[in-house]
Structure 1
Amino acid sequence: MRNLEFKEQLHEYTHWREQLIQGIELYRDWRNRYRFSDPQSTDTLLNILQGLQNDRVTLAFVAEFSRGKTELINSLFFAETGVRLLPSSPGRTTMSPTELFWDEKGGSYIRLLNIESRLEDISLMDYKRNPDRWTQIELNCDSPTQMQEAFRELVATKKVSREMADKLGLWNEREAAEQGIINPETVEVPCWRHAMISFPHPLLKEGLCILDTPGLNALGTEPELTLSMLPSAQAIIFVLAADTGVTKSDLEMWKSHVCSSRGNRRQGLAVVMNKIDSMWDDLAGETGYEAAIQKQIDTSAMILNLEKEVIFPVSAKQALLAKVKGDDALLQKSRLNLLESYLSDDILDQRRDILKGVVDKEIGFLVSESVKLMDSKIANAQKQLDEFKQVDFENQELTGKLMAETRDRQNAYMANIENFQASRKVFAVQAKMLIDSFAKEKIDDIIRRTKDDMSKSLTTYGMKQNMRRLFDELRDLLQDSVDMTEETRRLIKAIHKKFQDEYGFKEIEPQLFSIKQHQFELEQIFEEGEAFRNSAKTTMTEQSIVVNKLYGTLIAKARNILQQAQRDAVTWSNSVLSPLMHQIKDHKKQIESRLIMLRKINESKGNVNESIAQLEGELGPLQVQYQELLEILKAVHLEIKAD
């Protein structure tokens, strides 16, 4: 499979996403036109639209130094430039984590964050919000040579004192001693901590984002990479060298950073065994060559505990050369096509399924509510029309009886509305207790207290115990919210059942607030925290750096999850009774309309046909409105959960 096919697959995926966005915008317009909208549902739809519009397919490439990772990126995505766009020549290894994407507003540039920023207690995410803190180099996209030269800044290094290297987290005495470096006056470190590159490559314009991460040392000293950026990637491509197989540092990187970023799932995780051209051997022949590759695949699969089907033997160097020269035979020999197939089919399909799941989770309930409310409106209008056609309105006594029954229904409705308002007040109190259980003040108090205790710990053991206590307290806080959620769910079910039983309202299963996803995400963070707490790197790193890194990444992430849980609880509590309110308003309108018609008919028998015609006239637009809804939902393949 050529890169063109990956490009076509990505283009098709982008087109599908644009159709989904268009369909959701049509649905939002439908709700506005027919007065189904409310502030909460509008916010929900706008949030999902914003998420889809900002969606990127992120591929992360991870490897120890000198595995040919950057060359692989060049061969996969940038061969048509005719040059080695990203620096990957021997001895020139990418030193800083690099993101490649297209920023339509910002244009073409390289932004570089200086290595000294590690001394500040500011997260990478916060730095990204402040372009002024970055060194910017403009890119001339009409000149691959100028871009190539600008990209060389990614491998820039400089010498700093050993004390400064230690503060930056870039000096390890044991590792240096193993390399024969003892008590040096200066240490060579990368100039840049992080790089962001924006230029209008066709794949980047389609929404592809590439994350190129340097070796084990960078991952170990930048927890945000492992704890935030890698987990959010659709796929992680882990690159090995075919001639060495899985080395000790490869395995440490795999276990500590790659696998931990995926939790218990291995979806979107692949291994590239690069540099198979180093195994080409004319004396061994094709059979010997194949056997050698297969042996490395089998061994790597066993060591990494991974399926052999997601280990791809490749020669990135020969693939790039083949694409530049248009040599199909060499490209075939490089075996890049199997990796491209995996990226095109598996990864993009997975991303599509994820987006479908997000859309269904976020607005599936609104869709179901709209369909059922329209069912109810049409059924009630049809029932009233059929009844009016069958009633003998010549019978004055019967007409009077119908009016009396309708007034009784109206009085009962008004009395029960007061009960509903009382239930609503009870629910408001319960919902506030749920929302307050996630209060920012509670979370910040735990975080502030434990950070202070951790900083005062005189031993690594004491610091780690305080770290453990922090995780336990946040877990307990979430458990209190779980208990509160169950009480709130029971109350909302009771309110819905009351109106279904007393008025025969269409049964719309209330949307129940769930905390499970937040629990799952928080437990993942706690697992990452345990790994961080127990890692040798934590034991060997200076205490203040450990505390700052922990709070700048893991704890910030946990705090965001708990705050998102609170925002979700607020949105849910504001909107959960909306479907019931829609039905209550419709019920009131039906009673009032029925009374008006009966009064007209009672006053003049000539109004019977006129009233029936009016009912028929109301039924038609409702059916058109319903059909519009079904067409919108069908066009965007949203599931229609009607009875």
Structure 2
Amino acid sequence: MTDSFNQQFDKHGAWRRNFAHRLKWLSRWLNENDLLNQSVAERLRDLESQLRTSKVMVAFVAEFSRGKSELINAIFFAGYGRRIMPASAGRTTMCPTELGYDPALQPSLRLLPIETRLEAHSLAHWRDEPERWTEIAIDVENAELLSQAMGKVAEVRWVPLEEARALGFWSDDVPDDNPVPDADGRVEIPRWRHAVLNMPHPLLEQGLVILDTPGLNAIGAEPELTVSLIPQAHAVVFILGADTGVTRSDLAIWRQHLVTEGDLSETRIVVLNKIDTMWDILSTPAQIDAQIQRQRKGAAELLGVPLAQVLPVSAQKGLQAKIRRDVPLLQASRLPALEAVLGEGLLGKREVMLRLAVDAGIVALRTEAARILNVRQRDLSEQALELQGLRGKNGSVIRHMRSRIEAEQTEFEGSNTRILALRSVQGKLLREVYAVLGSTALKADMGRLSAALKRRGIKFSVRKVYGETFESLRNNLREVQATSAEIQSMLHATFRQLNAEHGFTLQAPPEPDLSGFEQQLDQIERSHIHYLGVGNMLKLAQPDFCDKLVRALASRLRVVNEAAMTEVERWSKGAGAQLDAQLKERRRNFTKRIEAVERIQGAAGNLDERLAELAAQEANLGELHRRLAELTTLLASNEAPHAPAARTELVA
């Protein structure tokens, strides 16, 4: 039986594992050959981090009773031979649930109490407060116990209207969206605000993150879902019922939470679930298919998406078919077609992006390591020329050469003043970058936005308010870009001077391009403006809602700013590490030159022997160049690498 999504993700995981294996071999080889300086080590860490932290998030969004949890069971958990996510009658996911894996944490289900909504903190804040979560250990080998633990996400509480209103589950302004009170005037709300499952499932171990979101009422009560979590998903699967088509609440979720102005929705997949309700023994297969096609076309037109993005499925029959290994039923469920779209489309695009980033990192790493080898090659050539000049010379000439080398060494060390000045100015400018993009500046921007949103009355000028805030944030990035240009100009000037004075081969790394972060700000602004402009305008009159919105925005903006600062810091470190590497090589060269003269002075070795040693070392450097190119090429390919040869000796 084929399982396209799992197969595609397995291939993706195999590529990442093979790459990590090759990366370790390369790291060991660089270390054994004394090529693992700070600059090269930084490149290796970047590559390893890209591979380790790269995640693929798929968000499943639907109104209640559309079969969302059943679809997650069918795609990801059929191997357990039973349901893992609660999906039986009367049992459904009531709180947003993230499924992923962090090997640093024990397998568990963590649950955040709903009452935390009454406190002025975002979900991002609560992630760093483990004591506020209820943690349940899980046994991933026991399907029954795992299913029981996941049943917690379906738990509810019955509370008075006042409490439901305070928690965001009751709105006097939009009564049609309110839950139905019981005989005592109480309403049903989720027991938990958020759930995080950490389990070593094969797909989750390879970097998949599943976000399971509840229905319209719960999504609307948590702005952070709409303006932060869901927009960051690499694909969103929106589930409709084939028996109901697009209902009013389905349309509300789609328009308010999933479609952003300017978004082509290429990552939005619409699933028309429960097509088995149309399987009618009184209808021919052709008639059933025509009915499904009508529902697909109707959904595509209402939601404004291409027909190809609306996929008919029976999650329940697909899960049943996988468990029973019933191939005809699996094909009838049409689940493989959805898995193929997720696997080939989502993972294919994601892997291409990751490979491009990795390839760029490999080129940079090869350049850094090759630069060290080139410096050594030049130093060996200079030593050989220097020693050849001693042929036939007497002891006084040799002593004079030693004195000259020591004088050069003293003069070289005297240039440290300029290097220290460079580092000082560079550090000052970087502190300015941190001041512009740091938490204090962001807090001030968010404070001004919060004050503007809390002005009395309905906020018809919300676009202007957000426009001013985001223009300020974009100006911050532009200011940092200008500071980076200033640092770059200083680096070019100092590096040219050091190259001229000391024969270095320093080259300032390319200045960081922060335009991508501006584009992220544009996307975040659009999602907020859209979210507030399609039905939530009245909520802006509520101070608590404004607080939640600003906290959610701040959490997402903090990620953008920190990523921009990391980019600038990595660039600055790259320049500094390159300088450190060449300083180290030059000091090493002085030591070797003095040692060579001492050996000749003390008759510990004659001149021809020393020149032969240098020639052998130059040949070894050529071999190191060849091996470096081979290993980095293998790193970027799909071929299995050969074990690196033993350390190439360089007794320079």
TM-score, normalization by structure 1:
0.84
- Give a deviation string over 1:456-489, Cα, whole Å, max 9, x none: 6465457876555433333333332222222222
Shift of 1:554: 0.7
Does residue 228 of the first structure (1) align with residue 218 of the second (2)?
no
Shift of 1:613: 0.9
**Which secondary structure does the structure 2 equivalent of 1:537 belong to?**
coil
Q: Which deviates further from its counterpart, 485-494 or 387-396?
A: 387-396
| C-alpha separation in 2, matches of 1:441 and 1:107 | 34
Call closer, same or farther: CA 1:399–1:246 in 2, change over 3 Å: farther
Call closer, same or farther: CA 1:268–1:501 in 2, change over 3 Å: farther
Call closer, same or farther: CA 1:615–1:491 in 2, change over 3 Å: same
| C-alpha separation in 2, matches of 1:8 and 1:372 | 41
**Which secondary structure does the structure 2 equivalent of 1:172 belong to?**
coil
Call closer, same or farther: CA 1:141–1:394 in 2, change over 3 Å: closer
**Which secondary structure does the structure 1 equivalent of 2:175 belong to?**
helix
Shift of 1:255: 3.4
Is this contact kept in 2: 1:369–1:508, CA < 8 A?
A: no
Q: Residues 69-468 of structure 1: matches in 2 within 5 Å?
A: 69-102=68-101, 107-139=106-138, 141=140, 143-173=142-172, 175-177=174-176, 185-260=185-260, 264=263, 266=265, 268-360=267-359, 364-378=363-377, 381=380, 423=422, 425-452=424-451, 454-455=453-454, 457=456, 460-461=459-460, 466-468=465-467
Q: Residues 50-65 of structure 1: matches in 2 within 5 Å?
A: 50=49, 52-65=51-64
| C-alpha separation in 2, matches of 1:344 and 1:182 | 43
Is this contact kept in 1: 2:359–2:636, CA < 8 A?
A: no
Call closer, same or farther: CA 1:592–1:561 in 2, change over 3 Å: same
**Which secondary structure does the structure 1 equivalent of 2:259 belong to?**
helix
| C-alpha separation in 1, matches of 2:313 and 2:370 | 51
Number of matched residues?
A: 637
Call closer, same or farther: CA 1:588–1:39 in 2, change over 3 Å: closer
| C-alpha separation in 2, matches of 1:321 and 1:424 | 65
**Which secondary structure does the structure 2 equivalent of 1:546 belong to?**
helix
- 2:14 aligns to what? 15
Q: CA RMSD in A?
A: 4.2
Call closer, same or farther: CA 1:537–1:77 in 2, change over 3 Å: same
| C-alpha separation in 2, matches of 1:482 and 1:52 | 27
Call closer, same or farther: CA 1:610–1:512 in 2, change over 3 Å: same
- Give a deviation string over 1:313-357, Cα, whole Å, max 9, x none: 211122122222222111111111112222333333333333334
Is this contact kept in 1: 2:599–2:605, CA < 8 A?
A: no
| C-alpha separation in 2, matches of 1:263 and 1:11 | 34
Call closer, same or farther: CA 1:425–1:548 in 2, change over 3 Å: closer
Is this contact kept in 1: 2:450–2:547, CA < 8 A?
A: no
Call closer, same or farther: CA 1:127–1:596 in 2, change over 3 Å: closer
Is this contact kept in 1: 2:453–2:540, CA < 8 A?
A: no
Is this contact kept in 2: 1:240–1:246, CA < 8 A?
A: yes
Does residue 491 of the first structure (1) align with residue 467 of the second (2)?
no
Is this contact kept in 2: 1:109–1:139, CA < 8 A?
A: yes
Structure 2, unaligned runs of 5 or more: 639-652
- 1:514 aligns to what? 513
- Give a deviation string over 1:12-41, Cα, whole Å, max 9, x none: 322322232333344444555555555676
| C-alpha separation in 2, matches of 1:577 and 1:158 | 57
Shift of 1:213: 0.9
**Which secondary structure does the structure 2 equivalent of 1:189 belong to?**
strand
Q: Which deviates further from its counterpart, 78-87 or 321-330?
A: 78-87
Call closer, same or farther: CA 1:557–1:190 in 2, change over 3 Å: same
Shift of 1:615: 0.6
TM-score, normalization by structure 2:
0.83
Shift of 1:368: 2.1
Q: Which deviates further from its counterpart, 513-522 or 394-403?
A: 394-403
Shift of 1:99: 2.1
Instruction: Read off the aligned partner of 1:226 and give its amino acid letter.
Output: T
Shift of 1:563: 3.7
Shift of 1:46: 4.1
Call closer, same or farther: CA 1:106–1:482 in 2, change over 3 Å: closer
| C-alpha separation in 2, matches of 1:288 and 1:481 | 62
| C-alpha separation in 2, matches of 1:182 and 1:150 | 28
Call closer, same or farther: CA 1:327–1:143 in 2, change over 3 Å: same
**Which secondary structure does the structure 1 equivalent of 2:636 belong to?**
coil
| C-alpha separation in 2, matches of 1:474 and 1:565 | 12
Instruction: Read off the aligned partner of 2:188 and give its amino acid letter.
Output: E
| C-alpha separation in 1, matches of 2:358 and 2:324 | 44
| C-alpha separation in 1, matches of 2:59 and 2:307 | 20
Instruction: Read off the aligned partner of 1:337 and give its amino acid letter.
Output: P
Q: Residues 531-570 of structure 1: matches in 2 within 5 Å?
A: 531-540=530-539, 543-570=542-569
Is this contact kept in 1: 2:178–2:217, CA < 8 A?
A: no
